């Protein structure tokens, strides 16, 4: 199951019962004896836990030492703030992954949506707003690069004024068929063309392992263009444990060694019923 499917299913989520996973000890009101090292700023994508009411999920995350719940729309920013958390990455538009900045025809709406949301994000303490390249649909990569740069450059004065970073996500173009920003080299070239510290990449480790591998070398090579990280087990996008092919402690050490000070967002889909225990385990794996 991916984010696109989960977002579509939120409205029809079942009523939570007493047997559901948020009722683990992590969701209690007392403080937990969990000590994190502080080298990684931990965040988590809400869509992977959309069957848990956000207020209860925020309390559980706070008790685990997680600093942020991300990929939230404006209406939910206050919810996590009231729980003492941040939203590391927010949404600025109601358009999804397939329709992005690579089409000039999309620019009017996207620029309007982002111009409206950037000041609101700054006021709410949301440091990043996510954007997408869009799908190729027969377009060559050079044309897509130029079109994205044209649109994004128009946003940079506002982003720079308010101190909010626009981050474009790197996705694999197998699961997200035909998506254009599917290679770190393409994304870094776009960063150079936009030419602002307020435009960076969201480096999704799960997606980039599928597309190009060589994760640690690419983090070292391209880290100056990366504004946020996502995790996920390969294969399957599940827990970051020894059932999958990536060794996350080494990846986290590489990220820290670049001097990165932003958030690392857990974006795996729990494979067992005790979702919060899975989340805590993966936080600990990444807490180097």
pLDDT above 50 for 153: yes
pLDDT in tens, 181-207: 999 999 999 999 999 999 999 999 999
Structural domains present in the chain:
38-286 (3.20.20.150)
- pLDDT given for residue 196 in this prediction: 98
Structure confidence at residue 35 as a pLDDT band (50, 70, 90): confident
The answer, as to whether pTM is greater than 0.95, is: no
Query: Tens digits of per-residue pLDDT, 52-85?
Result: 999 999 999 999 999 999 999 999 999 999 999 9
- φ/ψ of residue 9, rounded to 5: -100, -5
Cα–Cα distance for residue pair 39/8, rounded to 1 Å: 35
């Amino acid at each position: 199951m991916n984010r696109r499917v989960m977002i579509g299913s939120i409205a029809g989520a079942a009523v939570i019962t007493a047997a559901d996973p948020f009722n683990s000890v992590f969701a209690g009101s007392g403080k937990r004896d969990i000590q994190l090292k502080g080298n990684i700023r931990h965040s988590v994508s809400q869509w992977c836990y959309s069957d848990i009411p956000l207020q209860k999920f925020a309390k559980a995350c706070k008790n685990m030492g997680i600093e942020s719940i991300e990929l939230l729309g404006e209406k939910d920013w206050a919810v996590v703030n009231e729980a003492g958390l941040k939203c590391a990455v927010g949404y600025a538009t109601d358009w999804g992954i397939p329709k992005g900045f690579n089409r000039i025809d999309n620019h009017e709406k996207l620029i309007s949506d982002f111009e409206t949301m950037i000041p609101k994000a700054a006021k709410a303490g949301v440091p990043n707003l996510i954007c997408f390249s869009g799908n190729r649909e027969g377009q060559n990569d050079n044309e897509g690069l130029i079109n994205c740069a044209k649109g994004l450059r128009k946003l940079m004065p506002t982003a720079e004024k308010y101190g909010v970073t626009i981050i474009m996500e790197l996705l694999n173009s197998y699961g997200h068929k035909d998506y254009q920003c599917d290679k770190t080299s393409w994304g870094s070239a776009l960063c150079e063309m936009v030419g602002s510290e307020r435009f960076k990449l969201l480096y999704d480790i799960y997606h980039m392992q599928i597309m190009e591998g060589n994760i640690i070398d690419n983090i070292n090579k391209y880290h100056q263009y990366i504004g946020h990280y996502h995790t996920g087990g390969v294969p399957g996008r599940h827990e970051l444990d020894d059932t999958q092919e990536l060794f996350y402690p080494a990846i986290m050490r590489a990220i820290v060694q670049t001097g990165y000070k932003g958030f690392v967002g857990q974006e795996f889909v729990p494979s067992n019923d005790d979702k919060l225990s899975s989340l805590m385990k993966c936080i600990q794996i990444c807490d180097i």
